[in-house]
């Protein structure tokens, strides 16, 4: 059965449909044929009901022919009559074979026996009459003829009576047959009805097996169209027909949709993370710039007025003043100009140079500034405004309490492996361990660092270099602080 259903399930839909209609048609045809054949049998039976009457009539006709032959022969000795007599006798002997010869308690059968015996007596007597005619014994053949006439009379009465009796029985049989036939008609109608209901149910079941996978498929499609394909389970494939193939394809499509959605989701997450990072960086830069501007107050105006001051000093022949004012103007210009993210390392160093110059003028050359620069690294692109805050920090917190002329700040740029290292070191009082820890763990608030703080530089470096550890602070009490930034030398950053 399982094999059969599998076999059926794997058939093509067109074949399935043909099979369904063929099966039901065959059932209907078989039932029809069976009933038709049996009904024919019944009709044949009905036709044969009156056959006994027919044979009795034949018997009677034949007897009368014999008798007329006998009469004719006895009257005129005609050969035609004799021939009729003999031929009829021969037929009669054949007909007599069908008659019952035994004694039974069935009245018709018993009458048949009587008829048969009387016919024998008749034929014997008739024969004797003919013999007597040939012997021209008038008395004898007359007596025999009379006896024959009597027996013929009895026979006709018997045949007539048996015929009647049989007709009655046959009519009863006929009626019984016709009545039974009515029952069989009802029966056949019942069978037809049952077979039809069965056929209808069979069609329902088989078409259901064909359409059920389609219904399930459309239900799945509906589910997907409602908008959550990732929660939709794939369909089970039951058959290898067209629907089975479509179901397989549907499952594959569902899988690829799910895969596609997953990929897009990851992409979106990455993109939004990137965006968030960029935004954060921008925010920090802006924050740095704002703080810078806040501290420096309108650098445009400042460096324009400074330029005007420089020109004035030049006209007055004050060269040092000119130099000082130019440095100040450069310092402020840098901030106006370099608002973009990355700058060359050389520009950062120039900014530090201007800053130190200004400070030295201000503090009368108290700050000793040394540079150890690997010239090959000057073109390295770095985030802007990362060195000046470190230098400012060293001046403000490192060497502020050192004796004038003793404070020294060293800026080193060198290569270390794949990194470009920028180190700002001082010989100041050093920084406490816990402060360094706070700075490194980003706990120290910007207000505590005063001005553009080291924290800002750190965060920007973190964002720029994806949290790589590029920032390092080393300090010893009364021996100074050393801050190192390790810029990774990647392709295109040289």
Partner 1 sequence: MVMKVSKNKVAVSILAGIVLVLFFATVAGLFFYREMIKDLGTAQEEDFTEYPRLYAYIAEDPDSQLSSRIYKEISEYAVENNCYVEMTGQNLSTSYSKADRMNIAISSKVDGIILEGDDSAETAELINKATANGIPVVTVLSDCQASARKSFVGLNNFSLGSEYGAELAAIGDLNKRYPLNALILLDRDDGNADDIIHAAIQQAVTGRLIRLNSAVVDTSTPFTSEESVMNILDGLETIPDVIICLNDRTTESAIQCIVEKNLVGKTTILGYYDSDTILKAIDRGSVYATFAIETKTVAKQCVNALNEYHDTGFVSDYFSSNYVLINRSNITEYQTEEKEDGI
- Considering only 83-91, 117-125, 339-347, 458-466, which stretch makes contact with partner 1 by CB under 8 A? 117-125
Rule CB under 8 A: choose which of 106, 218, 272, 294 binds partner 1.
Answer: 106
208 binds partner 1 (CB under 8 A): yes
β-pair partners for 421? 414, 486
Rule CB under 8 A: choose which of 11, 143, 198, 246 binds partner 1.
Answer: 198
Q: Annotate 138-207 with three-state secondary structure.
A: HHHHHHHHHHHHHHHHHHHHHHHHHHHHHHHHHHHHHHHHHHHHHHHHHHHHHHHHHHHHHHHHHHHHHH
String marking each residue 132-151 x if it binds partner 1 according to CB under 8 A: ------------------xx
314 binds partner 1 (CB under 8 A): no
CB of 415 closer than 8 Å to CB of 379: no
Question: CB of 437: closest distance to partner 1 in angstroms?
Answer: 59
List all residues 6 or more positions away from 118 whose beta carbon is below 8 Å from its beta carbon.
Answer: 151, 154, 155, 158
CB of 423 closer than 8 Å to CB of 482: yes
- Between CA 209 and CA 243 the distance in angstroms is 11
10 binds partner 1 (CB under 8 A): no
Helix (H, G, I), strand (E, B) or coil at 381: strand
184 binds partner 1 (CB under 8 A): yes
**CB atoms closer than 10 angstroms to residue 166:** 21
197 binds partner 1 (CB under 8 A): yes
- Between CA 281 and CA 466 the distance in angstroms is 11
104 binds partner 1 (CB under 8 A): yes
Q: From residue 409, give the alpha-carbon distance in Å to each of 230, 371, 423, 425, 482.
A: 62, 9, 10, 6, 10
Q: What is the CA radius of gyration of the chain?
A: 67
User: 484, 360, 465: which is closest to 410 by C-alpha?
Assistant: 484
494 binds partner 1 (CB under 8 A): no
Token couple for 280: 């954060």
Question: CB of 34: closest distance to partner 1 in angstroms?
Answer: 5
Rule CB under 8 A: choose which of 23, 39, 143, 489 binds partner 1.
Answer: 39
250 binds partner 1 (CB under 8 A): no
- Considering only 188-196, 250-258, 368-376, 406-414, which stretch makes contact with partner 1 by CB under 8 A? 188-196
Scan for tokens 């460096």, then name that residue. Answer: 303
169 binds partner 1 (CB under 8 A): yes
Between residues 40 and 478, which has the closer beta carbon with respect to partner 1? 40
Between residues 80 and 222, which has the closer beta carbon with respect to partner 1? 222
User: 232, 225, 227, 226: which is closest to 254 by C-alpha?
Assistant: 232
219 binds partner 1 (CB under 8 A): yes
Helix (H, G, I), strand (E, B) or coil at 105: coil
Beta strands in 336-428 (DSSP E): 342-344, 368-373, 381-383, 408-416, 419-426
- Considering only 102-110, 318-326, 362-370, 381-389, which stretch makes contact with partner 1 by CB under 8 A? 102-110
Phi, psi at 369, each rounded to 5°: -115, 125
Question: CB of 4: closest distance to partner 1 in angstroms?
Answer: 12
Scan for tokens 């040394």, then name that residue. Answer: 370
109 binds partner 1 (CB under 8 A): yes
**b vs e for 406-416, b when ≥16 Cβ sit within 10 Å of the residue's Cβ?**
ebbbbbbbeee
26 binds partner 1 (CB under 8 A): no
- Between CA 134 and CA 131 the distance in angstroms is 5
82 binds partner 1 (CB under 8 A): no
- Between CA 200 and CA 189 the distance in angstroms is 16
Rule CB under 8 A: choose which of 209, 305, 410, 412 binds partner 1.
Answer: 209
Rule CB under 8 A: choose which of 85, 141, 158, 332 binds partner 1.
Answer: 158
Rule CB under 8 A: choose which of 143, 191, 281, 373 binds partner 1.
Answer: 191
- Considering only 192-200, 288-296, 431-439, 476-484, which stretch makes contact with partner 1 by CB under 8 A? 192-200
107 binds partner 1 (CB under 8 A): yes
Between residues 250 and 334, which has the closer beta carbon with respect to partner 1? 250
172 binds partner 1 (CB under 8 A): yes
296 binds partner 1 (CB under 8 A): no
Rule CB under 8 A: choose which of 187, 268, 269, 312 binds partner 1.
Answer: 187
360 binds partner 1 (CB under 8 A): no
Name the residues that contact partner 1, by CB under 8 A: 27, 31, 34-35, 38-39, 41-42, 45, 49, 102-107, 109-110, 113-115, 117-118, 120-122, 150-151, 154, 157-158, 160-161, 164-165, 169, 172-173, 176-177, 180-181, 183-184, 187-188, 190-191, 194-195, 197-198, 201-202, 204-205, 208-209, 212, 216, 219
């Amino acid at each position: 059965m399982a094999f059969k259903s599998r076999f059926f399930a794997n058939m093509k839909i067109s074949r399935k449909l043909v099979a369904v209609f063929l099966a039901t048609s065959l059932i209907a045809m078989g039932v029809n044929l069976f009933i038709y054949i049996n009904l024919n049998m019944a009709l044949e039976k009905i036709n044969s009901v009156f056959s006994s009457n027919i044979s009795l009539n034949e018997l009677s006709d034949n007897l009368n022919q014999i008798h007329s032959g006998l009469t004719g022969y006895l009257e005129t000795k005609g050969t035609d009559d004799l021939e009729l007599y003999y031929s009829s006798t021969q037929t009669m002997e054949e007909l007599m074979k069908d008659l019952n010869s035994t004694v039974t308690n069935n009245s018709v059968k018993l009458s048949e026996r009587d008829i048969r015996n009387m016919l024998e007596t008749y034929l014997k007597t008739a024969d004797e009459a003919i013999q007597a005619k040939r012997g021209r014994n008038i008395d004898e053949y007359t007596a025999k003829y009379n006896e024959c006439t009597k027996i013929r009379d009895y026979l006709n009465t018997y045949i007539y009576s048996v015929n009647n009796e049989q007709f009655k029985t046959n009519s009863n049989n006929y009626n019984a047959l016709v009545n039974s036939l009515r029952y069989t008609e009802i029966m056949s109608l019942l069978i037809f009805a049952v077979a039809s209901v069965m056929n209808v149910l069979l069609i329902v079941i088989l078409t259901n097996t064909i359409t059920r996978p389609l219904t399930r498929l459309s239900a799945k499609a509906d589910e997907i169209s409602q908008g959550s394909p990732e929660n939709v389970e794939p369909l089970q494939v039951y058959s290898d027909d067209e629907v089975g193939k479509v179901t397989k394809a549907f499952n594959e499509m569902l899988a690829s949709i799910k895969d596609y959605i997953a990929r897009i989701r990851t992409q979106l997450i990455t993109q939004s993370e990137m965006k968030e990072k960029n935004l954060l960086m921008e925010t920090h830069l802006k924050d740095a710039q704002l703080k810078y501007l806040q501290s420096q107050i309108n650098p445009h105006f400042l460096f324009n007025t400074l330029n005007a001051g420089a020109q004035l000093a030049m006209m007055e022949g004050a060269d040092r003043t000119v130099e000082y004012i130019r440095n100040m103007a450069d310092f402020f210009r840098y901030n106006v100009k370099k608002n973009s993210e990355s700058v060359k390392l050389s520009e950062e160093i120039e900014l530090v140079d201007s800053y130190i110059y200004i400070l030295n003028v201000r503090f009368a050359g108290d700050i000793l500034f040394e540079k150890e620069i690997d010239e090959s690294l000057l073109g390295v692109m770095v985030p802007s405004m990362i060195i000046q805050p470190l230098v400012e920090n060293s001046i403000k917190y490192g060497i502020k309490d050192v004796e004038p002329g003793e404070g020294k700040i060293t800026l080193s740029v060198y290569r270390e492996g794949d990194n470009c290292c920028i180190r700002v070191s001082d010989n100041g009082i050093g920084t406490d361990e816990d402060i360094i820890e706070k700075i490194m763990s980003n706990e120290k608030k910007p207000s505590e660092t005063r001005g553009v703080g080291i924290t800002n530089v750190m965060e920007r470096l973190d964002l720029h270099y994806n949290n790589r550890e590029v920032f390092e602070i080393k300090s010893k009490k009364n021996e100074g602080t050393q801050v190192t930034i390790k810029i990774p030398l990647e392709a295109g950053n040289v």
